Structure 1
Amino acid sequence: MTETTFETDFWKDNALRKTWEQIVPGEPRKTLPYTLTLEAIQKYCRVVGDLHPLYFDEDYAKASPYKGLIAPPAIHILLMFACTPADDWMRSPGTVNAGQSWSYNLPARPGDTIRLEARALDKFIRKDRLFVVHDNVFFNQHDQVICSGRGWTIRPM
C-alpha cells in the first residue's frame, strides 16, 4: 500500500502563488482530481477523533442507510488541500479562515474520484485587511455534488 504524502514546507511554493492583487473574482482556480482512499478517510478520522463505525466497520456501515463505508462530512477539509496544487492561492501561509458555510448533499466514499470546482467570488479591503470570498463545489466521479461551500479568508499582506 502506497500512502500519499503531502508537502509540509508551506513556504516552498509561495513565490508561485497569486498575490491578493492577482486574484480575479469569477476566475476558476486550477484543481486536481483526487481518489479518496479508505486509508485517507480513516487517518483523517483518527486525527480528528471521530471513530464512528460508519467510517471503520464495514458490517455496521452496510446495515446503515448508507449501505457501505463513507467519509465524514468534514472530509472537505482534507479534500480542499488534496484537490489543489501547491501553488494555489488558498494555500498561502498566513491565510486566516474568517468564516465558512457548507451544505452536504451526499457522502464521499472510499474509491470516489473527487473533483473540485472553485473560484474567488469577491475581494475587498476592510480595516486594512485583505478579504477574499470564495466558493467550492466537490463532485464525485458521477458528477454528483458531495458538498458545496462558501468561505471568507483574510489574505496575508
Structure 2
Amino acid sequence: MSQAEAFETDFWKDANLRKVWDDIVPGEPRKTIPYTLTKEAIELYCKSVGEDHPIYFDEAYARTTRYGGLIAPPSIHILLMFSCTPADDWMRSPGTVNAGQSWSYNIPARPNDVITLQARALDKFIKRERLFVVHDNVFFNQKGDVICSGRGWTIRPM
C-alpha cells in the first residue's frame, strides 16, 4: 500500500486523542512528523481537486518548463498539513473552522521530497464566546529550503 492510499480519511477516528483548548500553548512547537511526498500522492491530490495541468503528471512536458521536472501544485500544503502532523494534533480537531489564512509560496514541492513542518500557535483568545487560535506553519524540503509558509486563524470547538 502506498503512502497516498494509507492516508487516513476518517477525521473523527482519533478525535478523543486530540489536544483541547487548555493544551494549546502559544509559542510551543507542535509535534510534527516528516512525510515523503510521492508522485502518486501528488496525482491523487490533483485528481481530488480537479487539477489537470501536465506539469503535475507528464514528466516529458514538465522537463520543458522552467522547473525542469514534475512539481506539486502550491495548494498541496493542505495535504501536507495533515500528513506532517500526528493523530493527536489540535489542528485536526473535528469542528475546527478555518477563519482565514495567508500563504507565501517559495519553491514547489517535488515528488520524493521529504517534507518537514515547523508549526506553533502564536496566540489564543476568546471573542464572543468563541475560541480563536492564531498559528503559523513553515514547510521545508530535505535540503532545508522553505517550500511555503503561512499564518492562519481557526475557531476551535468548545
Match of 1:123 in 2: 124
Secondary structure, in 3 states, of the residue corresponding to 1:27? Answer: coil
User: Given residue 116 of structure 1, which amino acid in structure 2 is its aligned partner?
Assistant: L
User: Given residue 27 of structure 1, which amino acid in structure 2 is its aligned partner?
Assistant: E
Secondary structure, in 3 states, of the residue corresponding to 1:64? Answer: coil
The alpha carbon displacement at 1:85 in A equals: 0.4
Question: What is the alpha-carbon distance in structure 1 between the residues aligned to residue 127 and residue 49 of structure 2?
Answer: 33
Match of 1:57 in 2: 58
User: Given residue 84 of structure 2, which amino acid in structure 1 is its aligned partner?
Assistant: C
Question: What is the alpha-carbon distance in structure 1 between the residues aligned to residue 104 and residue 12 of structure 2?
Answer: 31
RMSD between superposed Cα atoms in Å: 1.1
The alpha carbon displacement at 1:5 in A equals: 1.6
The alpha carbon displacement at 1:16 in A equals: 2.1
Secondary structure, in 3 states, of the residue corresponding to 1:130? Answer: strand
Match of 1:139 in 2: 140
Question: What is the alpha-carbon distance in structure 2 between the residues aligned to residue 14 and residue 83 of structure 1?
Answer: 17
Match of 1:149 in 2: 150
Deviations 1:54-103 (A, max 9, x none): 10111111000000000000000000000000110000000000000000
User: Given residue 142 of structure 1, which amino acid in structure 2 is its aligned partner?
Assistant: K
Structure 1: state its 5+ residue gaps.
none
Structure 2: state its 5+ residue gaps.
none
Q: TM-score, normalised by structure 1?
A: 0.96
The alpha carbon displacement at 1:21 in A equals: 1.7
Deviations 1:26-66 (A, max 9, x none): 00000000000000001100110010011011111100000
Question: What is the alpha-carbon distance in structure 1 between the residues aligned to residue 34 and residue 20 of structure 2?
Answer: 24
User: Given residue 138 of structure 1, which amino acid in structure 2 is its aligned partner?
Assistant: F
Secondary structure, in 3 states, of the residue corresponding to 2:137? Answer: strand
The alpha carbon displacement at 1:12 in A equals: 2.8
User: Given residue 12 of structure 1, which amino acid in structure 2 is its aligned partner?
Assistant: K
Secondary structure, in 3 states, of the residue corresponding to 1:59? Answer: helix
Match of 1:39 in 2: 40
Count of residue correspondences: 157
User: Given residue 10 of structure 2, which amino acid in structure 1 is its aligned partner?
Assistant: D
Q: TM-score, normalised by structure 2?
A: 0.96
Match of 2:88 in 1: 87
The alpha carbon displacement at 1:22 in A equals: 1.7
State the percentage of identical aligned residues.
Answer: 76
Secondary structure, in 3 states, of the residue corresponding to 2:62? Answer: helix
